[in-house]
Each structure stands twice: as C-alpha cells, then as structure tokens.
Amino acid sequence: MHSDEAVQKRKTTFQISLALVRTEKNWFKKAFSFNLVKLLGYCWEENELLLVYEFMPKGSLEEHLYGRGSAVQPLPWAIRLNILIGAARGLDFLHTSEEQVIYRDFKPSNILLDESYNAKILDFGLAKFGPSGSTTHLTTRVMGTHGYAAPEYVATGHLYVKSDMYGFGVVLVEMLTGLRAIDPNRPRGKRNLIDWVKPYLSQKRKFKHIMDSQLEGKYPANAAFQIAQVALQCLGDDPKTRPSMKEVMEILDRLQHRPPLPPKQERIQSYQLPQSACLAKFGPSGSETHVTTRVMGTSGYAAPEYAATGHLYVKSNVYCFGVVLVEMLTGLRPIDANRPDDMGGYDGEFGETGEFSNDGVKPALMSLGELALRS
C-alpha cells in the first residue's frame, strides 16, 4: 500500500457492505470534490470489508479538538474557520450534485484534514440519495450518531436534506466551545452540549463564557458570535427554517476574508493626531445631543447647522460624506472660484488658523450639491 493511501474496516454483512461500496464507488466516478475524501478501492478479506481511501496526514477533527498529550496542539481560530469552510463545501457539493446526497452522519470524526488543515468528508456508509420529484423527504430507519441526528429524523424517521444542517450546527458549536456534543462525564444538565449552551448562543454577553478556553481569547468576537447565530439557525426544530448549506458556506467565506478589527483601544490610539493637526472632537455625553464649539473646518464640507450655530452633531460628519459622494460622482470640487457664476460658489473667508469666519461668508450662487440635484 502506498503512503498516500489509508484503509478503513467495516463490519457488516457481505451483501449490504458490497452494495454500499459499489454505490459509493460508482457515485465517486461521476462526482468529485476536493472536499470529499477519495475512495481509491475496496476488497473483502477474512469477513471484513476493507476500503482504501486517500491518506489524510493530520487525522480527524475529533483528534484535534479532543485529543490529549503534547502531540495535540489547540487549533487556532483561523484554522478552525478554514476547517468549517472546507467541510461546508463538501456538504454543499453533496446537497447540490445532480444526484442529491444526504450525508446523515456529519460529525468531527468524519472530517479529515490534509497537511494544510484542509477539511474533507469521509465515510458515506450512511449516506442516502435525496428525495426525488415532488417529495420533500425520505422515510428510513433511524441511523447515525447520538447528539448529531436532527430531532425530526430521530422522532419520525423522516430524513430531509436539511437534516444534515442540524449536524453541521452541532459541529459549529463544538468548534466554538471545544466541547463534545455528548459527554456523560459532564455534570447533569450539561451532558448534552446543545441543550446546555443553546440559551447562551443568542446573548453576546453570555456567549463569551462558553468559548473554548484553549483559544485564550485570540479570536474575533464579532465573527465568533456570527457563527453562533448561524449555529442557532442550523439547530432549528423545523428543517424548513434551517439555512441551506450554500447560504452557510457564503457566510463563512465572508468571515474568512474579512480583515479583523483591532481592539477598540488600539483603534482609538491609531487615530490620535498631533493636537495642532486634529479637528476631531469627542461626541456629546449623557442626554446631550450635540457639542457647541468654535466653527472650524473646510468650507464646502461643513454641515450648515455647524457653520451657522457652532452646534456639532455626530451626523454633521454625514453631511461631509455626502459632499464627497457628489465629488466622486461628478469629478468636481465642492467649491471652485474658477467655475462660472452659475456653477461656482463662494468659499467665504478663512483666517490664518483655518478658522471659518461666519462674518465673511457670502451666499454661494450655486453649490456643487445644488448643481447635481438640479441636473
């Protein structure tokens, strides 16, 4: 056997196992995804079915989340997110393929990792082809792993494509908390992870208390909370209300490519300018709505209420932004004394300090904003 191959044993009857494997092998011939572990071959030996898969050097997600010993290092946030995205792509491929497949056993032990921690889904022994025609679900014997199976499937045997989404939601919570879905060694009331932490997922203040301590706080809080909200949707009791795998995958992709904001204190410090060059003011406090201050700034950008009264609101900045929007659309300056009178505008008088002098302001014949509105 080559070093890039791995063998899995299955102990079931010959007829059932061979039928499953032939189905799996035939399906893999027609459909291939980078995020599915490739089945290379199979054989029957000494009453055991041997399946030959591509070798995944980093083992399973389960080993990294729950393994013990110095050889197992905690997964950093970026790798956890990358793993979730890879697994999501694998499930999305199954759900949207020409012959729709319901995986039915999504859990960390079935998510394998290559040398770069890219995730691939393994073991299609419980997978079923999805409903056809106008049918919405299959009715089948309940199989799978306790703690990951969707409630409607456990209760009725009705299997929907979105039954897989429940299992994905459980794995999302495991990745956030670093805890097993079912653990009989936890105190009573906490043995079922979802029953225990579900109330925490929707409350941002409480949510941080259930995050995996092995992350040591090194994760983007907003992104983690967004994933918690996705998990809540996946864990909905009604399969119709759960998101599709494609919708979840798109959210995770956006979170991966969004640069994290630095801590708030760092953001404040990074924007501190020398006092002589800074016109910024701290906003009103308490019940106050504005700050009253000496009028400064650049003519053509200052909000009219600020220029007239010195009352500075947070939304006074929005006026400036609106002027810049018009500049971007037109390619013209907001104030230009060289334009004809019907396109110009007078920029008033400024002192040597750059202070806007109310006494020297003359009515503008036509501001850029008015010109844009008229046209």
**HEC-encoded secondary structure of 90-148:** HHHHHHHCCCCEECCCCCHHHEEECCCCCEEECCCCCCEECCCCCCCCEECCCCCCCCC
Of residues 308 and 266, more confidently modeled: 308
- Rounded Cα distance, 189 and 120, in Å: 33
Of residues 31 and 40, more confidently modeled: 40
| Domain end (from 231, 257, 283) | 257
Tokens 């907001």 -> residue: 334
- Rounded Cα distance, 219 and 223, in Å: 8
Of residues 91 and 98, more confidently modeled: 91
In this predicted model, what pLDDT tens digit does every residue of 41-51 receive, in sequence order? 777 777 777 77
Residues 172 and 231 in one domain: yes
End-to-end CA distance of the chain: 75
pLDDT of res. 112:
95
In a domain, 288, yes or no: yes
Rg (CA), the chain: 30
- Rounded Cα distance, 323 and 241, in Å: 43
pLDDT class for 280, splitting at 50, 70, 90?
confident
pTM of this structure: 0.65
pLDDT class for 163, splitting at 50, 70, 90?
very high
pLDDT of res. 261:
54
pLDDT of res. 21:
55
Report whether pLDDT(359) > 50: no
- Rounded Cα distance, 334 and 345, in Å: 8
Overall average pLDDT of the 206-221 stretch: 94
- Rounded Cα distance, 251 and 260, in Å: 15
Report whether pLDDT(192) > 70: yes
Distance of CA 182 to the CA centre of its chain: 25
In a domain, 302, yes or no: yes
pLDDT class for 292, splitting at 50, 70, 90?
confident
In a domain, 268, yes or no: no
- Rounded Cα distance, 289 and 285, in Å: 8
Residues 130 and 181 in one domain: yes
pLDDT class for 278, splitting at 50, 70, 90?
low
Find the range with the poorest average confidence among 1-10, 41-50, 76-85, 139-148: 1-10
Residues 26 and 64 in one domain: no
In this predicted model, what pLDDT tens digit does every residue of 32-72 receive, in sequence order? 568 888 877 777 777 777 778 889 999 999 999 998 766 67
pLDDT class for 344, splitting at 50, 70, 90?
very low
Question: In the annotation, is 105 catalytic?
Answer: yes
Find the range with the poorest average confidence among 30-44, 99-113, 292-306: 30-44
Residues 61 and 71 in one domain: yes
Exactly one of 92, 105, 123, 212 is catalytic; which is it?
A: 105
- Domain housing 288: 275-374
pLDDT of res. 355:
40
Helix or strand holding residue 312 (H, E): strand 311-312
In a domain, 263, yes or no: no
In a domain, 224, yes or no: yes
| Domain end (from 226, 257, 288) | 257
Find the range with the poorest average confidence among 103-112, 315-324, 353-362: 353-362
Overall average pLDDT of the 213-217 stretch: 94
**Per-chain mean pLDDT for the chain:** 79
Eight-state DSSP code of residue 75 = P
Residues 49 and 61 in one domain: no
Q: Which ranges of the chain does DSSP label H, i.e. alpha helix?
A: 14-30, 61-66, 77-96, 151-156, 163-177, 193-201, 204-207, 221-234, 245-257, 264-270, 304-309, 316-330, 368-374
pLDDT of res. 247:
95
pLDDT of res. 277:
45
Find the range with the poorest average confidence among 25-39, 182-196, 239-253: 25-39
pLDDT of res. 235:
97
How many folded domains does the chain comprise? 3
Residues 62 and 47 in one domain: no
pLDDT class for 8, splitting at 50, 70, 90?
low
pLDDT class for 16, splitting at 50, 70, 90?
very low
- Rounded Cα distance, 175 and 194, in Å: 12
